[in-house]
Chain A
Amino acid sequence: AQKVTQAQTEISVVEKEDVTLDCVYETRDTTYYLFWYKQPPSGELVFLIRRNSFDEQNEISGRYSWNFQKSTSSFNFTITASQVVDSAVYFCALSEWTYSGGGADGLTFGKGTHLIIQP
């Protein structure tokens, strides 16, 4: 069965520092999708990125970047020059494709990393 591990329960850094959130996953599938979501204190889930298992290119979006490495089953998320507004809980999630009939059975989430950016 699939599993997502976010070993960092809470991270606290000072504003402007870079911070990396770790995500390690387990899956039996060769076709799968990985996601990152942000949950600010207001509680909604904000989609950040989706990556499929065939695309190992790193991605950068402004201060955010993602490093996908199939060899280590990791999909890490880095925030450069962190800001107070980045304070939130961040979730990594996995959707299998082949064994779950095309992602039908939804997402498997990690337990989340609570990121605190201190001014």
Chain B
Amino acid sequence: NAGVTQTPKFQVLKTGQSMTLQCAQDMNHEYMSWYRQDPGMGLRLIHYSVGAGITDQGEVPNGYNVSRSTTEDFPLRLLSAAPSQTSVYFCASSYSSPRGGYTFGSGTRLTVV
């Protein structure tokens, strides 16, 4: 099915561990972005990309790295997980024009203990 696929759906990490959240889209969208959702905070932008090889920081980038080697994939890396990174993470993609809006993945629930 066309859309945005996030893996894993759930993950528990120990403080200091690293991991990569995967995001893939098959709609040939130029733009991709990562958000985190915390209780009472809405969704906040972590990093975004306007195309392969181009990434930039959003509102809350600290502790996260991204890269975009292909149009389809936009992985989010946690280099040394901290309890403050316990959150639900959403990946989204969109065209570089407003015609389609933003399509969100189903989310990854991450717990750092």
Measuring CB to CB, which residues of chain A are less than 8 angstroms from any residue of chain B?
A: 4, 6, 9, 33, 35, 37, 43-45, 47, 50, 52, 91, 93, 95, 97, 101-112
Measuring CB to CB, which residues of chain B are less than 8 angstroms from any residue of chain A?
A: 31, 33, 35, 40-45, 48, 50, 56, 58, 88, 90, 92, 94, 96-98, 101-104, 106-107, 109
For chain B, what secondary structure do more than half of its interface residues adopt (helix, strand, loop), or is it mixed?
Answer: strand
Closest A residue to B38 by beta carbon equals A111
Closest A residue to B54 by beta carbon equals A104
For A93, list chain B residues within 8 Å (CB): 43
| B98 touching A50, Cβ below 8 Å | yes
| A106 touching B106, Cβ below 8 Å | no
CA distance A50 to B58 in the complex (A): 22
For B35, list chain A residues within 8 Å (CB): 106-107, 109
Report, nearest first, the 3 A-B pairs whose CB atoms are least far apart: A109-B42, A106-B33, A111-B42
| A111 touching B41, Cβ below 8 Å | yes
27 inter-chain pairs at a CB distance below 8 angstroms, sorted by A residue, are A35-B101, A43-B106, A43-B109, A47-B104, A50-B101, A91-B43, A102-B97, A103-B31, A103-B94, A104-B31, A104-B48, A104-B56, A104-B96, A105-B33, A105-B45, A105-B56, A106-B31, A106-B48, A106-B102, A107-B43, A107-B45, A107-B102, A109-B43, A110-B42, A111-B41, A111-B42, A112-B42
